[in-house]
Structure 1
Amino acid sequence: MKSHYSGYSWAAMAILAPCFSLIIFAHETPFQSVLHNYSAEGFSIEEATIPQIQQAFKAGKLTSRGLVEFYLDRIKKLNPLLHAVIEVNPDALLLADIADTQRLKAGGTIESALHGIPVLIKDNIASNDKLNTTAGSFALLGSKVARDAGVVNKLRKSGAIILGKASLSEWAHFRSSNAPSGWSARGRQAKDPYVLTADPCGSSTGSAVGVAANMAAVTLGTETDGSILCPSGANAVVGIKPTVGLTSRAGVIPISHHQDTVGPICRTVTDAVYLLDEIVGYDPRDHRASKRAAPFIPKGGYKQFLKPDGLHGKRLGIVRGPDFSKMSGSSEAVSFEKHLATLRQKGATLVANSGIDAILNANNGIEENTILLYDFKHDLNIYLSELLQSPVRTLADIIAFNKRHPQEEKIFEYGQDYFLEAQNTSNFNAKDYKKSLKRVQSITKNGIDKVLKDYKLDALVAPGNNFNIVSLLAIAGYPGIIVPAGYDKSGVPFGICFGGGRGSEPTLIKISYDFEHATKIRKIPMYKI
Structure 2
Amino acid sequence: MRSLLAAPLCALLVAPPAHPHAHPVPDLDGATIPQLVSRMDEGTLTSVDLTRAYLRRIGTVDRLVRSVLVVNPGALRQAAESDRRRAAGRAKGLMDGIPVLLKDNIDTRAMGSTAGSRALHVPPRDDAALVTRLREAGAVVLGKTNLSEWANFRSTRSTSGWSGVGGQTNSPYVLDRNPCGSSSGAAAAVAASLAQVAVGTETDGSIVCPAGQNGVVGLKPTLGLVSADGIVPVSSRQDTAGPLARHVVDAAVLMSALSGVDHVAALSSAGLRGARVGVWRKAGRNAEVDRVVRSAVDALRTAGATVVEVDLPHQDEIEAAEFPALLTEFKHDLERYLGTRPGVPGTLRELIAFNEADPVELSRFGQELFLEAVNAPPPTDPVYREQRRTATALARRSIDETLAAHRLDVIMAPANGPAWKTGYGAGDAFEIGSSTPAAVAGYPNATVPAGFAGPLPIGVSFMAGHRADAAVLGFAAAFERSTRARGAPTYLPTTP
**What TM-score, normalized by structure 1, do the two folds share?**
0.85
Q: For residue 498 of structure 1, what is the amino acid of its counterpart?
A: F
Q: 2:314 aligned with 1:359, yes or no?
A: yes
Aligned position for 1:126: 107
Q: 2:78 aligned with 1:76, yes or no?
A: no
Q: Quick one: distance in 2 between partners of 1:469 and 1:212? A: 21
Q: Quick one: distance in 1 between partners of 2:487 and 2:295? A: 19
Aligned position for 1:25: none
Q: CA 1:140/1:48 → structure 2, altered by over 3 Å: closer, same or farther?
A: same
Please, which runs of 5 or more residues in structure 2 have no aligned partner?
A: 418-431
Deviation at 1:432, TM superposition (A): 2.5
Task: Confirm or deny: 8 A CA contact 2:175 2:491 kept in the other structure.
Answer: yes
Aligned position for 1:277: 256
Q: CA 1:44/1:492 → structure 2, altered by over 3 Å: closer, same or farther?
A: closer
Deviation at 1:112, TM superposition (A): 1.0
Structure 2 SS opposite 1:413: coil
Task: Confirm or deny: 8 A CA contact 2:25 2:50 kept in the other structure.
Answer: no
Q: CA 1:303/1:446 → structure 2, altered by over 3 Å: closer, same or farther?
A: closer
Task: Confirm or deny: 8 A CA contact 2:278 2:408 kept in the other structure.
Answer: yes
Q: Which runs of 4+ in 1 moved over 4 A?
A: 6-15, 17-20
Q: Quick one: distance in 2 between partners of 1:158 and 1:18? A: 28
Structure 2 SS opposite 1:262: strand
Aligned position for 2:288: 331
Deviation at 1:79, TM superposition (A): 2.1
Match of 2:49 among 33, 55, 66: 66
Deviation at 1:246, TM superposition (A): 0.7
Match of 1:379 among 305, 322, 333: 333
Q: 2:271 aligned with 1:306, yes or no?
A: no
Deviation at 1:441, TM superposition (A): 3.3
1:88-117 CA-to-partner distances (Å, cap 9, x unmatched) read 1111112122222222222xx624111111
1:127-526 matched pairs, under 5 angstroms: 127-128=108-109, 130-143=110-123, 145-281=124-260, 297=261, 301-307=262-268, 309-321=270-282, 324-327=283-286, 330-352=287-309, 354-356=310-312, 358-363=313-318, 365-387=319-341, 389-405=342-358, 407-409=359-361, 411-465=362-416, 467=432, 469-489=434-454, 491-526=455-490
Task: Confirm or deny: 8 A CA contact 2:217 2:247 kept in the other structure.
Answer: yes
Task: Confirm or deny: 8 A CA contact 1:89 1:164 kept in the other structure.
Answer: yes
Q: For residue 359 of structure 1, what is the amino acid of its counterpart?
A: H
Q: For residue 325 of structure 1, what is the amino acid of its counterpart?
A: G
**More moved, 175-184 vs 423-432:** 423-432
Task: Confirm or deny: 8 A CA contact 1:311 1:510 kept in the other structure.
Answer: no
Task: Confirm or deny: 8 A CA contact 1:7 1:88 kept in the other structure.
Answer: no
Q: Quick one: distance in 2 between partners of 1:278 and 1:112? A: 9
Q: For residue 136 of structure 1, what is the amino acid of its counterpart?
A: G
**More moved, 334-343 vs 306-315:** 306-315
Task: Confirm or deny: 8 A CA contact 2:148 2:181 kept in the other structure.
Answer: yes
Q: CA 1:137/1:42 → structure 2, altered by over 3 Å: closer, same or farther?
A: closer
Q: CA 1:243/1:14 → structure 2, altered by over 3 Å: closer, same or farther?
A: closer
Aligned position for 2:34: 51
Q: CA 1:220/1:372 → structure 2, altered by over 3 Å: closer, same or farther?
A: same
**More moved, 435-444 vs 118-127:** 435-444
**More moved, 513-522 vs 88-97:** 88-97
Q: Quick one: distance in 2 between partners of 1:375 and 1:16? A: 37
1:225-271 CA-to-partner distances (Å, cap 9, x unmatched) read 00000000000000000000011101100000110011000000000
**What TM-score, normalized by structure 2, do the two folds share?**
0.91
Deviation at 1:390, TM superposition (A): 2.3
Q: For residue 447 of structure 2, what is the amino acid of its counterpart?
A: I
Structure 2 SS opposite 1:326: coil
Q: Quick one: distance in 2 between partners of 1:452 and 1:15? A: 45
Deviation at 1:15, TM superposition (A): 8.7
Structure 1 SS opposite 2:83: helix
Q: Quick one: distance in 2 between partners of 1:46 and 1:319? A: 31
Q: Quick one: distance in 2 between partners of 1:68 and 1:140? A: 28
Aligned position for 1:527: 491
Q: CA RMSD in A?
A: 2.3
Q: For residue 277 of structure 1, what is the amino acid of its counterpart?
A: S
Task: Confirm or deny: 8 A CA contact 2:65 2:169 kept in the other structure.
Answer: yes
Deviation at 1:528, TM superposition (A): 1.1
Deviation at 1:41, TM superposition (A): 4.8
Q: CA 1:360/1:237 → structure 2, altered by over 3 Å: closer, same or farther?
A: same
Overall identity of the aligned pairs, in %: 38
Q: Quick one: distance in 1 between partners of 2:140 and 2:26? A: 21
1:360-402 CA-to-partner distances (Å, cap 9, x unmatched) read 3443x22111111100111111111122x32211222111111
Structure 2 SS opposite 1:513: helix
Q: CA 1:131/1:14 → structure 2, altered by over 3 Å: closer, same or farther?
A: closer
Q: Quick one: distance in 2 between partners of 1:303 and 1:40? A: 28
Structure 1 SS opposite 2:403: helix
Match of 2:93 among 99, 102, 112: 112
